[in-house]
Amino acid sequence: MPDKFLKKLQADFDLGLSDCRKIISAFSSEMSKGLAGQKSSLKMIPAYVDVPAGSEQGRFIAIDLGGTNLRVLEIELNGRGGLRKLKEKKYVIDKKHTLASSGQFFGFIADKIKGFVSDHPVEAGFTFSFPVKQTAPAAGVLIRWNKDFAVRGAVGKDVVGLLNGQLLARGLPDLRITALVNDTVGTLVCRGYSDRHCDVGLILGTGTNACYREDLAKIGKWKGPKSAGEKMIINIEWGDFDQIKTSPYDKLLDRQSANPGKQILEKMVGGMYLGEVARLVLVDLVKRKMLFSGQPAGKLSLQKSFKSEYLSVIEADSPSGLRQTRNILSGLGIKNVSRPDARLVKNVCELTAKRASIISAACLAAVIKHIDRNLKNKHTVAIDGSVYEKHPVFAKQMRKALQAIFGQKAQKIKMALTKDGSGVGAAVIAAVAGTKKSNSAGTHD
């Protein structure tokens, strides 16, 4: 087995402290450019909301539109930083809905909401996990669909307005959508309701993104009022970050993707892509007759056949027998895998996932340095997503990378798994928006 090639493969995926510092420097520069409204790979989108005070109370609805499901939740806030989910319903979004007209699609959502809510007036937050240009706390223009959605007549229109129109048509004038929410922002706000140190939200799942609390005075492109000391959450859209060392396999994946040249960081970190990165490495090893004794790669030769969840299973596999690794390969049509070959497959999976965790940690470090350059204060990072939650060592590797970057000060950074943050956070943001509106009304009396 040619050690020279394996060393090159290791070098392609290894990220040391110097690499992390380069990422931090480039990421910080892109953040500053994005905040100023200059050309940047980071969009730095104002979210029109800050973390809650923790004193909000009452019952609120969350409408969570993701990929294959629509969820409607009712959340109760007790005004003391505590919350509980009162009820929840999940509805499958069939393909016919994703290809429907905007009226049919938002009408479907309105029908489900009508079947969920009671008769009394209610405020709701709308989590809409598609690219929008937010123009107000409860308004945002759809830029484009993704995730195989192709609803007609919605691009370029305010999605809250489209939904409100359908709610009115169904006799629900008292249901007011007071907040349009990005899932990353929802995750930060969800944790921030009970944790006063929470100032960063992070998604590490099928895709990846982050947001953080910024001083309004530092948002150069913000044209609204800037009160002293006031903060706003910024949706970084960090999956677009492109100043990062890539391997030949990343370049090949990017060329074969539906959006070449875009979402470079996400293609190295997101669960939608991690399995494909590993597959491209494995196929190359087979072609070089360094794996499976040159036998055909079976289904492994098919694009997207090596699922990202395989990385978690294989990395958790017992090194003595590697039974789970062999079972996965057998399911792909590769039989009688030797122990050295199974071990090499595991090594490739480890390299792929470890690199993703270090990239995530380095970008997170850049965000925290931007907030608190000398890391004087405590910071909680609210994290949601299957990659972070389910991979056996992803969180540990992120923690190790943060320790290498910050030393002892890394203890001031708490990474908190915040499941279902996008849904619950939407209800909390609705409460925050409702409170602001009430206070504003009181001021004008």
- Active site members: 147, 183
Write the CB contacts of 63 (distance below 8 Å, at least 6 apart in sequence). 70, 71, 72, 109, 113, 124, 125, 126, 127, 163, 177, 426
Rg (CA), the chain: 23
